Structure 1
Amino acid sequence: MNTQAKRPVSLLLALLLGACLLAGCGDDQRGDGGHANNDSLQKQERRAREVADAWQGSAAASAWSQGYYPMADVVQTPESGWLTERDARAYESKNFVLRGKLPITATVRGKVEWGSGAPLSRPLMGAQKAYQSFALNRSEGPRLTVTGARLGETTITTSRGSAAVSAWLFTLEGYDTPLRRVAVTPSKLPKPPIGQAQQGSVGGLRRVARLAGTALDGRSITVRATHGACDDGPAVKVLETDESVVLYASVAGAQGGPCSTEMLEQSVKVQLRQPLGDRILLDALTGRPVPYGEPDGQSPSWT
């Protein structure tokens, strides 16, 4: 037997196996064909059920149902849309210039009003801070010019449905309608009634990063879910109750072999049996509400 020739091969296999383990390629939830096996799915669904049960009737759920949590972009573009491609690029790159003075108001509280129920009084963001939240770039090239602002109102989707909220209305050069920026700050997030699970420990369970959009009829949502570089992307399933919608995510088609450790996000459309309505949207891994956030945005709108 030629053991001399086999040593390099054995060493190479050991190195490849070590790289794979360090990078997390492959997945203990995968069966034949790269699909989640029944045991893994049962573990994921069981965790989703635990999250739903923990939130039902909890103090956290009560606080959530009484708070203000925006579930749409807090910056709203002019009603006419962008007049030119240059303006659209300027907005996407957050390239603005201020020519004029922004108001300084003594008002320290703003309002949030739903169609029913008591309104909320929330701290009001100043015009300068509101402007700086979207005007992050002041470079050469296509840019939009803000000439002034006034305090007004806009409508935004929240965790409790549509609400009229205080907003700063920024006048843009060349536009008849303003760019609106919600001026009220979100409520403090309640402490979850259940702790976070370790990623990958519950049948390969992964995090749902954020909500990216809701269909007009509320029967489907688009979320951003995480996955690795050596799989076919995220798979997101749902557990619906009367009070909550719990999302539990994993990856599909995990591949064996060496793999980089990068974490990616991808949009996934999830169908619901009933409209989302005012049910709380929860992530099974973290046990927390799923925040709204643009796919390329800096952070979710209420974190």
Structure 2
Amino acid sequence: MPTRTAQLLLALILLAAAGGAATACDSGRGAQPRTPRHNPVAEARARQVAEAWEGSEAARAWRKGYYPIGEAVQLPEDAFHDEADKQAHESRNFALRGRLPTAARKNGLVRWQSGGSLTLPLMEAQQAYEVVTRGGGKGPQLPVTGAKLGEMTLATSRGPATVPAWLFTVDGYDTPLKRAAVRPSEPPTPPIEPFAEGSSATLQALRQLVGTARDGRSVTVAAAHGACDDGPAVDVLETGGSVLLSASVVGTKDGPCTGQLLSERLTVKPDRPLGDRVLLDAFTGRPAAYGRP
């Protein structure tokens, strides 16, 4: 029977290969992270990634781009009226009961509160609607009766920004459901290859970036672990231009174990606010990815 460490590593590889199609149990709502054991391999890797990004073309491109680190969909202010509407949203079961407009212009402007702006192509209302809904499912539905182009405020890697948004009218609600009408910039090519040595207990990839606090003083991530360990841990290394997150598993022992892949949310707190520093996954050498794994 495979060892616990080998099974966890295999599960992570299969999850990556399936593009997140594998199912993992996500437990916890931003629990405080366990203290990682001294891990010289992970620490050395984090410093290597930080040095590679420092002053790189990738870092310059990242600071010029539009990279949301907050949810691109914002619910009506009075959501939800009942359990059926909540269920409809959670299953993304919307029903179009009207016609959606086309954009009067091709581009939209992203404006940062700290200064600076970026012009990006606008997404048509129909495209935005198709991102929001799966549609046609059984059970309760939320009727959408129309939409208009407006704005919303969204957390990004460069701080809060005002972005173009499609404001969808939902039957029975006084305020709209908002969906950002511009897509994120293309991520830059990282200046370093992914980590290729060691076991999954030594260093592993983060599953996803869940979100950051408004003041930038805490970051919540989802990290994977197995069924026969003490759970994941996330260590932090800070530099002037980046914050490195190194995920690992604690309490692992060799021996028979089920091949179950679990996910847990952990909240880490840098010594100072994140600001415009790039948040990096030490394993992949890439910016931590926001949203679904």
TMscore range, shorter length: 0.7 to 0.9
Contact 1:25 1:254 in 2 (8 A): no
In 1, distance between residues paired with 2:4 and 2:64?
A: 45
Q: Is structure 2 residue 117 aligned with structure 1 residue 119?
A: yes
Task: Look up the match of 2:72.
Answer: 74
Q: TM-score, normalised by structure 2?
A: 0.86
Which is richer in strand?
2
Contact 1:78 1:178 in 2 (8 A): yes
The equivalent position to 1:190 in structure 2, one of 166, 188, 191, is 188
Give the AA of the match of 1:268: L
Which is richer in helix?
1
SS of the aligned residue for 1:208 comes to coil
Task: Look up the match of 1:162.
Answer: 160
In 1, distance between residues paired with 2:199 and 2:4?
A: 15
Written as runs of structure 1 = structure 2, the 5 A alignment for 1:145-294 is 145-198=143-196, 200-201=198-199, 204-293=202-291
Q: Which has the larger radius of gyration?
A: 1
Give the AA of the match of 1:269: T
Residues 156-188 of structure 1: CA deviation (Å, up to 9, x unaligned): 000000000000000000011000000011111
SS of the aligned residue for 1:157 comes to strand
Judge which range, 76-85 or 243-252, deviates more: 76-85
Change (3 A) 1:51 1:203: farther
For the aligned residue pairs, the C-alpha RMSD in angstroms reads 2.0
In 2, distance between residues paired with 1:20 and 1:63?
A: 42
Change (3 A) 1:22 1:163: closer
Contact 1:207 1:283 in 2 (8 A): yes
Residues 261-280 of structure 1: CA deviation (Å, up to 9, x unaligned): 34332111112111112111
Higher relative CO (Cα under 8 Å, sequence separation at least 6) belongs to 2
SS of the aligned residue for 1:145 comes to strand
User: Cα distance, 1:81 vs. partner?
Assistant: 2.6
- Ranges in structure 2 where 5+ consecutive residues have no aligned partner: 10-34
Task: Look up the match of 2:3.
Answer: 20
Identity %: 53
Residues 196-224 of structure 1: CA deviation (Å, up to 9, x unaligned): 01264487101112111222332111101
User: Cα distance, 1:22 vs. partner?
Assistant: 8.5
In 1, distance between residues paired with 2:209 and 2:94?
A: 27
Give runs of ≥4 in structure 1 deviating > 4 Å.
none
- Ranges in structure 1 where 5+ consecutive residues have no aligned partner: 1-15, 27-34
